[in-house]
Structure 1
Amino acid sequence: MIRIVSLTDAGQRLGERLQRKLPDSELWFKPKPFTETVQQAFKQGDRLILICATGIAVRTLAPVLGNKHQDPAVLVLDEQGQFVIPLLSGHEGGANDWANEVAEVIDGQLVMTTAKPYLRPIYTVGMGCERNCPEAELQQLLARCLSQAGLTLDSVDSISSIDIKADEVGLLSLAAKLGKPYVVWDKAQLATVESLLSTKSDYVFKTVGVYGVAESAALYSAQQHTGESAELVLVKQKTAKATCAIARSYPAADS
């Protein structure tokens, strides 16, 4: 869910424009109590567009900040819609790319302060699942993850997993249906990105030899595309039978 928060009449008009353009969004005009309302939305994982001063946004959210792997994306806009600033979770939460999309919607200027904003990243999806997991469950999970990361399917380069899933029917059929390459890696390859995982599962390690299939596969695939380090855009998300994570890697500046 996207919560658009405005505090002035001009901000309300901008918020109404955004609400018409952004699916699954809701406009809050001068919500009361302001601080508690915005903090609660943030804590429950809603993406926020705050049409207010950056200082107000920072002071409001500072007490409830967790970490870049879990906090939802937050954008700050001026009430005229001239500037769009990805304030929180720029990389991992997808705020940078989302801010670019919002800037295009309102013909505003993206103001990005995080690293490598001028390079086009490669996004890769990693997935794991129980044997014979239905394709429908995998597709629903992937759609949810893309939405959480503020990405579209067109942004995704490939879907990947561990080599013991090379013949997993659901993953194979999903990749084919979506027109994406399906790539698998062995545990020795996936182990090279172990330090980048958000969490490590001893159970998964005992079962397949790596501490996390979805995150490892996404990270390793992203690195192979650019030859550069990768980072998680969305940490592992789960259903009863499947896991999914999204990673990104930027090409070298001179490539």
Structure 2
Amino acid sequence: MKITLAAFTKQGGKLCQNLQQKLNTQGYDAKGYSKYQIDGAGALEDSLDEFTRNAFGVSDAIVFIGAAGIAVRAIAPFISSKDCDPAVLVIDERGRYVIPILSGHIGGANELAKIIAKILDAQAVITTATDINEKFAVDSWAVNAGCHIMNIDMVKKVSAAILNGEQVGVHSDYPVEGSLPDNVIISDSTKVGICISDSFKPIFSETLHLMPRQYALGIGCRKNTRYAELLNFVNFILDINGISPHEIEAIASIDLKIGESAIRSLSMDWRVPFHTYSANELAQIPGDFSKSDFVKEITGVDNVCERAAVKANNGRLVVPKCSWDGITAALSKKDWRCRF
């Protein structure tokens, strides 16, 4: 998770630097900026509007250290939708309270607030109704279960029904495991319900449709491939195999391609991670893969796209290597289950 921190006072800057360091030691990619010069933190030189615009474009989470009003005014012009906005949190400059103010569930702001509160020995101030009433939050569950929310407006219908004590049905095309949350039942007959499928089925009068991300996309390409060419080819492969881009959980390739602009752009546009592996890591993946002496000479491994796809989600190869004009792609599918 890439986290951008911003502080507006000297005391806040010290907290910013300290939190940046501690988050990074826990495996996060955190970068702090301060209006006042603080060793270890970057300088907050841009206008707040420009800083926030840039942070929205590259961050999974933004943490403002200062007054909540500053954060609210800063993010207001850039808020788009709860399924694509980054998590936004506010921390007072003394580090006593951590308050998620945007994308609490889908963006993970609530969970991040709890993590930061533990780091700072502070109090997380959670205000979302399902959380404070200890009820099932379907959007949080969907993200953690690896599902794409197809019709985001229906989340509030499901949450409202659960908060009102009504039963919410679940229709799943996949095996269901675990104990169902309160007010959630396996049924097609409730008014409000959740359909978990790779195709839209209006099972209920008010249906929230969740699509599991079951596939990993392995890609190989020549250097400086144009993004439009890569995108068109990948969409063609998905289309002929009846797979939605929303079913892709990750994109993968060899580490030689870590800076490949077209693949990175696809990852950003589809909002899925881009994983890269060394030739040695790919060579160790067991399975029956197509082989190319030319690819091995260039990369050090006989196949990139198939091996990378299988490595990314520990699945089985379902679409073997397809190639066109210097681009290769393959798809791996994992055994997804509906786990509560």
Structure 1 partner of 2:160: none
One-letter amino acid of the structure 2 residue matched with residue 124 of structure 1: A
How far off its partner does 1:26 sit? 1.2
Q: How many residues align?
A: 172
Structure 1 partner of 2:91: 77
Find runs of 4+ consecutive structure 1 residues off by over 6 angstroms: 188-191, 203-206
| Aligned 8 A contact 2:117 2:124 in 1 | yes
C-alpha distance in structure 2 between counterparts of 1:243 and 1:67, whole Å: 29
Q: Which one has the bigger helix percentage?
A: 1
One-letter amino acid of the structure 2 residue matched with residue 10 of structure 1: Q
**DSSP-derived class of the 1:98 partner:** helix
C-alpha distance in structure 2 between counterparts of 1:93 and 1:102, whole Å: 15
| Aligned 8 A contact 2:63 2:90 in 1 | yes
Q: CA RMSD in A?
A: 4.1
How far off its partner does 1:208 sit? 4.4
Shift of the 16–45 alpha-carbon distance from structure 1 to 2, 3 Å rule, reads closer
How far off its partner does 1:45 sit? 3.2
Structure 2 partner of 1:44: 58
Shift of the 81–96 alpha-carbon distance from structure 1 to 2, 3 Å rule, reads same
| Aligned 8 A contact 2:200 2:209 in 1 | no
Residue 26 in 1 paired to residue 31 in 2?
yes
Structure 1 partner of 2:131: 117
Pairing 1:90-169 to 2, within 5 Å after superposition = 90-118=104-132, 119=134, 122=141, 123-126=144-147
Identity %: 33
Shift of the 236–44 alpha-carbon distance from structure 1 to 2, 3 Å rule, reads closer
C-alpha distance in structure 1 between counterparts of 2:203 and 2:45, whole Å: 49
One-letter amino acid of the structure 1 residue matched with residue 127 of structure 2: T
C-alpha distance in structure 2 between counterparts of 1:210 and 1:67, whole Å: 21
Once the two structures are superposed, what CA deviation does each residue of 1:134-190 show, in whole Å capped at 9, x if it has no partner?
xxxxxxxxxxxxxxxxxxxxxxxxxxx977xxxxxxxxxxxxxxxxxxxxx876897
C-alpha distance in structure 2 between counterparts of 1:190 and 1:214, whole Å: 20
Structure 2 partner of 1:55: 69
Once the two structures are superposed, what CA deviation does each residue of 1:214-238 show, in whole Å capped at 9, x if it has no partner?
69xxxxxxxxxxxxxxxxxxx8637
Residue 89 in 1 paired to residue 90 in 2?
no
**DSSP-derived class of the 2:54 partner:** helix
Structure 1 partner of 2:272: 237
**DSSP-derived class of the 2:80 partner:** coil
How far off its partner does 1:37 sit? 1.4
Shift of the 54–11 alpha-carbon distance from structure 1 to 2, 3 Å rule, reads same
Structure 2 partner of 1:2: 3
* Higher RCO structure (Cα 8 Å, ≥6 apart): 1
**DSSP-derived class of the 1:117 partner:** helix
C-alpha distance in structure 2 between counterparts of 1:108 and 1:188, whole Å: 44
What TM-score results when the alignment is normalised by the length of structure 1? 0.54
How far off its partner does 1:196 sit? 3.3
Once the two structures are superposed, what CA deviation does each residue of 1:61-92 show, in whole Å capped at 9, x if it has no partner?
11111111111111100000110001111111
Bigger CA radius of gyration: 2
Once the two structures are superposed, what CA deviation does each residue of 1:32-85 show, in whole Å capped at 9, x if it has no partner?
223211221112334211001111111111111111111111110000011000
